[in-house]
Amino acid sequence: MIVRNRGLVLLAVLTVVVALVITFPARIAYQWISPPFVQMSGIQGTVWNGSAREFATNGVYLRDLTWRMHPLGLFTGKANYDISGTPVSGFFESEVTVSLGGTLALTNLSASVPLQMFEEASNIAGLRGNASLQFERFELTAGRAAAMDGTVDVANLLVPLLGSASLGGYRAEFYTQNNGIVASVEDTDGVVDVAGSLQLNPDKTYAFRGQVVAKPNTPDSLQNQLRYLPKNDRGQHELSFEGQY
């Protein structure tokens, strides 16, 4: 009888804890536990089911953010959500898991967003275009990319340092490896033929190494810039750059 009573007490306590969590105001939770690199305003509802008028982190901006929690995940020390939001143009939706260790994991991520959202994170001034994202997994730890598995398709890429005209379309396929994250990069309908690889390192540095070949429709201004790049024995221009995100 004593064991049974203890089991009932434990069940009652767990029920109360879960009830408190799912009815806890989202605005107060944000004030208590939100990391410094996340800003939200117009918060309504609870941590179980709520919304925010605006959300921003590391230059990424969403409006009309909504979330709905799957409470059973709390018993594993994780908070699982279905989240959707609206960037300046396009859409964003994903399943999101927040763990006690501070890891933010996005799964089944589907989005269409303007590249301007990544101008700050990439340190590329004036970056413009549109990106379609499809990721099975995208994990962030302390604001750093810890895992990425999926694709990014870019259309109408504009990089002011390379000229004022659109550079066309490109695709990057990301894979998680033991030493970091790598991506294969190639053009789809770009004004130059590009094939290369991008490495994202655990210390938040990145490096790109690739080959570039001009096409018949490559703008003269860009062809002139390519002449300054070294060539390999196949006549391809070698392109490399690195930095920190």
Condensed to tens digits (0 to 9), the pLDDT of residues 90-112 reads: 999 999 988 877 788 999 999 99
At 29 the pLDDT is 72
Counting residues of the chain whose pLDDT is more than 90, the rounded percentage is 44
Q: How far apart are CA 62 and CA 59, in angstroms?
A: 10
Q: How many domains does the chain have?
A: 1
Separation in Å, CA 26 to CA 108, 165, 177: 24, 44, 36
Structural domain span for residue 118: 2-244
- Classify 79 as helix, strand or coil: strand
What pTM did the predictor assign? Answer: 0.80
Maximum distance among all Cα pairs of the chain, rounded to whole angstroms: 87
CB 145 within 8 A of CB 200: yes
In terms of Cβ atoms closer than 10 Å to its own Cβ (0-12, 13-18, 19+), residue 13 is exposed
